[in-house]
Amino acid sequence: MKNLESVIYVSMLGGFSVTIGNQKILDQNNQAKKPWSLLEYLITFRGRDIPVDELIDLFWRDESSSNNPAGALKTLMFRVRKLLEPLGYPTQELIFQNRKAYGWTKELVTVCDTDRFEDLCLQSEQPDLSDEDRLHLLLEAFSLYKGNFLPKSEWESWVVPIHTYYHTLYQKLVKRTLMILDENKDYPTMIDVCQKTISIDPYGEDAHYYLIYALYQSGNQLKSIEHYKRVNDLFYNEFAVTPSIRFKELYKMISDKKHGITMDLSTIREILLDGATNKGAFCCEASVFRDIYQLETRAIERTGDSIFLCLVTISNLKGELLKPAVQTRAMDELGESIRNSLRRGDVYSRYSVSQYLMLLPTATYENGEMVLKRIIHNFKKEYSRKDLSITYSLQTVMPN
């Protein structure tokens, strides 16, 4: 016997499933894609009678071999109804049919996670809400977004704009949630939100930024720095981009000091010398390099020493960026050549995806040029490719 009071629950965020009572069906990896895609389409546009021609155009547009598309659609619809049988409800009533159209049932209530998610996002934007009520709505919406809209069909032409809509809502939701959590200094919840967001959208900068920040504020300075370095490498290697200004400023904050108070100078000395046993020249973040550069410009006013600022650039023979995989390997090898070719007291930094900066205390331009040629020679011994070019320039550091 069918239950006339049945409610159909549908999940589309992070995966696709349909549930009636205790019975549930979900898309498995080893199952045919087209029947599931048609079912997803019928439920997504459940308020409409969908014309047969529309469905034929959608599913057989690129298949000229189908001589009888109407018959192929009937066969596909039969397979969709077979998918629905485990729900224990008459499939002819779940998918209705008339002479010119098909559609998802309008007799039963269908509750979709997408509708609830969208509703909560819109409610959270009401201007008269308290921060507490707004955060409650945001976190409830956040819990519903278990992943992108229909991820197994994400490249279907009809899915793309809907995916973009919900993903944009989600990105705004995350940003607003993190801002309120920051104001409340609720760093444990902020860490949880960031980690889940990164699992869904690994290249979103905001979540990485706030995770590093929240780890630091929670007292996990080492984890904070470790995650910063992982993100730095991720963006270099995947997108060939350098960290944004705010990321560099964040690094200055998280690496600036150890938490807590100590009166023991020997402990402080150990902290200050952390990592100082590394061989070769000193590699630092761009923001730290800038501070050292400014200190040197002040010092030479007094000492009159001669220091050169040097820039080394890797490119292809046309002066363009290399392919990402080649770029990553080449820059790693160049960094090693710089570290091993300079003295321990020399300083260098990665300036961009294809460039390093150095400070060379040397008396003459010619001596500086000799050092740079030695770096390039050592690099080519370890990594010889005929399709890349290394150029350099150097300029004396003037008093500020």
Specify whether the CB–CB gap between 113 and 12 falls below 8 A. Answer: yes
Half-sphere exposure of 153 (CA within 13 A, CB side): 27
How many residues appear in the chain? 400
Cα dihedral across residues 100, 101, 102, 104: positive or negative:
negative
Q: What is the 3-state secondary structure (H, E, C) of 253-281?
A: HHCCCCCCCCCCHHHHHHHHCCCCCCCCC
pLDDT score at 263? 43
Write down the pLDDT at residue 66.
57
For 223-381, where are the E strands, in sequence order?
282-283, 307-316, 347-352, 355-361
Q: Round to whole Å and give the CA distance between 180 and 273.
A: 38
**Neighbour order of strands in the sheet with 355-361:** 282-283, 347-352, 355-361, 307-316, 388-396
Which parts of 29-153 fold into alpha helices (H)?
33-44, 52-60, 69-84, 91-94, 113-123, 131-144
Q: Please provide the CATH number assigned to the domain covering 279-396.
A: 3.30.70.270
Angle between helices 113-123 and 159-183 (to 10 degrees): 40
Residues of the chain with pLDDT under 70: 1-5, 29-31, 62-66, 256-278, 400
The token duo for 272 is 């200050």
> Residue 361 pairs with which residues in a beta bridge?
307
Per-residue model confidence (pLDDT) at position 309 = 92
Q: Do domains 7-112 and 127-254 have the same CATH topology?
A: no
Domain ranges of the chain: 7-112, 127-254, 279-396
| Residue 40 pLDDT | 95
Q: Whose structure tokens read 């049945």?
A: 6
Q: Does domain 127-254 have CATH number 1.10.10.920?
A: no
Instruction: Tell me what pLDDT residue 249 has.
Output: 84
Can you tell me the distance from the alpha carbon of 55 to that of 61, in angstroms, rounded to the nearest whole number?
A: 9
CATH 1.10.1040.10 fits 7-112, yes or no: no
Question: Within its chain, how far is the Cα of 378 from the centroid?
Answer: 35
User: Model pTM greater than 0.75?
Assistant: no
d(CA 111, CA 131): 28
